[in-house]
Copies of this chain bind each other. A is one copy, B any other.
Amino acid sequence: MQNFELTILGCSSATPTSKRNPTAQLLNIAERFFLIDCGEATQIQLRKFKLKFQRINHIFISHLHGDHYLGLLGLLSSMHLLGRTVEIHLYCPAELQEIIEVQFKHSQSYINYQIIYHPHQYLHNDLIFEDERVEVRTIVLNHRIPCCGFVFKEKPLMANISKEIIHQYGLSIDQILAIKKGADLVSDTGTVIPNAQLVVSMQAPRSYVYCSDTSYDERIIEYIKGANLLYHEATFLDEMSARAKETYHTTALQAGTMAKKAGVQQLMIGHYSARYKDLQPLLDEARSVFDNTILAIEGESTVVGH
């Protein structure tokens, strides 16, 4: 099975604490390393957890609140100072380009690699990245300023056929390709051998959904249905639901409800308000609605769909 693993680099909301950094996540799908948001000190977290940041070629920024992008300039600069020449793709609000360029201009700095900007169109289900193994789509979130979530999804793998089966039925190249694509085998005598008896069972494509920052908004359910792992912000306990609504954030209870209604396999909550030193009450609250919930903890990795 190919790698599909999420590592948390920062899990705090706007004001970091001495123990929790602002939002950043590293997602490894089949050795593609995607950085999701890049709060202040992300480069320091990457070093702390011994994650090689030059392997990151694609960075996804959800929105332009500082706790989701202020680490970007430092990371881009360090990538240059450490010899990067490979281009980097930035999926982000269009305005981020001005923010980056004004700083390079005033520091009279250049970087020795290209930044390729892919500005958000703020559309649901917009395909923003695709290669032979992975696709990434946007979800429009409901925040104080324009904000996108992301759906990272594996592509279906071609089925495998064992050597024994090939030999047993004397399969031709054309037959092998047809069976890999899902065809049954019809023998010379007209017997049908179902595809499932010929191929090694394929794993269903897995998906990871990132939703931060956002109000509780059921309009996104159709885009996240059945995800293997849903990261949903849970800034507050439900006793602060009025504050959550006012600041366009979500409570742990609402995050659990979203996971339940979308029928996901597992929920991870994060983006905790600095007021919560102990995260257990947030976890308990989400679990009261959706049992398979885990906490985003910095430095910890989670296999998607395990």
Contact = CB atoms under 8 A, between A and B. Distances in A.
Interface in A88-113: 93, 95-96, 98-99, 102-103, 106-109
A95 B102 CA distance: 9
A99 B102 contact: yes
Q: Is the interface of A mostly helix, strand, loop or mixed?
A: loop
Contact of A44 (B41, B64, B65): B41
Contacts of A22: 74
A228 interface: no
A82 B104 CA distance: 30
Interface string A191-235: 000000000000000000000000000000000000000000000
A81 B14 CA distance: 8
A17 interface: yes
Nearest to A49: B18
Given A16-B47, A41-B44, A66 B73 contact: yes
Contacts of A48: 18
A124 to B, nearest CB: 22
A74 B41 CA distance: 10
A192 to B, nearest CB: 61
A70 interface: yes
A17 B47 contact: yes
Contacts of A106: 64, 93, 95-96, 98-99
A65 B102 contact: no
B107 A103 contact: no
A21 interface: yes
A74 B70 contact: yes
Nearest to A41: B41
Contacts of A14: 77-78, 81
A298 interface: no
Interface in A21-44: 21-22, 40-41, 43-44
A106 B144 CA distance: 12
Contacts of A40: 40-41, 43-44, 70-71, 74
Nearest to A79: B15
Nearest to A22: B74
9 contacts: A18-B48, A21-B44, A40-B40, A40-B43, A64-B103, A66-B74, A67-B77, A107-B145, A108-B144
Given A16-B43, A17-B47, A67-B77, 6 more contacts: A16-B74, A64-B108, A66-B73, A70-B70, A95-B106, A102-B102
